[in-house]
Structure 1
């Protein structure tokens, strides 16, 4: 098959800083899985790219304005974050709605937590053979984390295919 230009997809990665360890582990695996995509070139923006001295609020606002998709790494800390609730989510799920990929980084109670308007969206979790409850990334063993990222990649590609025809 001839090499054709891949479609660039700019992701804004939203996560709570309290979840840095899991968010970093997830992103490392997800970046590795998405890199050889045949159809899409995945470009991820995280606030770790903000340089010293830059206005971080402006940088985040610009990244939100320029992204194609919001990658939301959901956890109790994510849902409790005032900044995410007031600055990020309104731009992704409010009036200026953009496609989002909500991923369960750490378990939240879908019935009892305030999901900040995400309750109408399918949140990705891993179905593990023989286990009744779907798993968050943090609940997965090392091998299950690979499965988690593999399954998510397949679903993201399908979603992008739907968006890009």
Structure 2
């Protein structure tokens, strides 16, 4: 592999890690109550934004130095024709989201779905506006239900409210995915049929892979 390609791939991988870390901290900042903790999180987010900008500059400079025969065709992103899927989840449940995304890999590779998470927010984008815009355009909205999900103010005030309004208008389909036991009775989405069957949380399965297969099979039925 050409040396510049290796360097470029390394920078792009590092950029993804920085963006993911910044998004996690930004989400934690939303739910932080302690002022000292908020200040510390804000400083970390600012430092990461500076690192992200620096890395983007390095990538841009490297791409400009690459010969045409190396750079040609490498910057055009693939546009999926699949259903746009928005994941509403708590950062505490990120491991569950990652597991679900891995199990949905076949649907993504077949262009059946176009998953979107907050990790896809680009450097310099307003995260609040981006989330609201993506939520308003999604075909399917998956709610990853847990106690932390229900306790997150932003999810309650923005994501659940918008999701249920769009579901009621027939603009999108909302599917609760029960990942950890919690008291969700009386919630706006409580009347909807969720996954896995009988609202059994994924964490309650002895074989988690079996639970996710059941979830993915349910999603496939509405594509």
What TM-score range do you get, normalising by the shorter chain? 0.7 to 0.9
RCO comparison, higher one (Cα < 8 Å, 6+): 1
Q: Partner of 2:154 in structure 1?
A: 83
Q: Whole-Å Cα distance in 2 between the matches of residues 53 and 35 of structure 1?
A: 27
May I ask how many residue pairs the two structures share in their alignment? 140
Aligned with residue 32 of structure 1, among 105, 110, 116: 105
> Retained in 1: the 8 A contact 2:83–2:139?
yes
Give unmatched runs, 5+ long, in structure 1. 1-5, 128-133, 161-165
1:51–1:118 distance in 2 versus 1, CA, 3 Å: same
Q: Whole-Å Cα distance in 1 between the matches of residues 106 and 147 of structure 2?
A: 26
Q: Partner of 2:60 in structure 1?
A: none
Query: Cα RMSD (Å) of the superposition?
Result: 2.2
Instruction: For residue 36 of structure 1, report the CA deviation from its aligned partner.
Output: 5.8
Q: Whole-Å Cα distance in 1 between the matches of residues 121 and 210 of structure 2?
A: 31
Which protein has the bigger helix share? 2
**1:101 and 2:175 equivalent?**
yes
TM-score relative to the length of structure 1: 0.74
> Retained in 2: the 8 A contact 1:23–1:105?
no
Q: Partner of 2:114 in structure 1?
A: 43
Give unmatched runs, 5+ long, in structure 2. 1-79
TM-score relative to the length of structure 2: 0.56
**Displaced runs of 4 or more, over 3 A:** none
Q: Whole-Å Cα distance in 2 between the matches of residues 103 and 41 of structure 1?
A: 19
* Pair member with larger Rg: 2
1:148–1:66 distance in 2 versus 1, CA, 3 Å: same
> Retained in 1: the 8 A contact 2:196–2:214?
no
Q: Partner of 2:12 in structure 1?
A: none
1:13–1:79 distance in 2 versus 1, CA, 3 Å: same
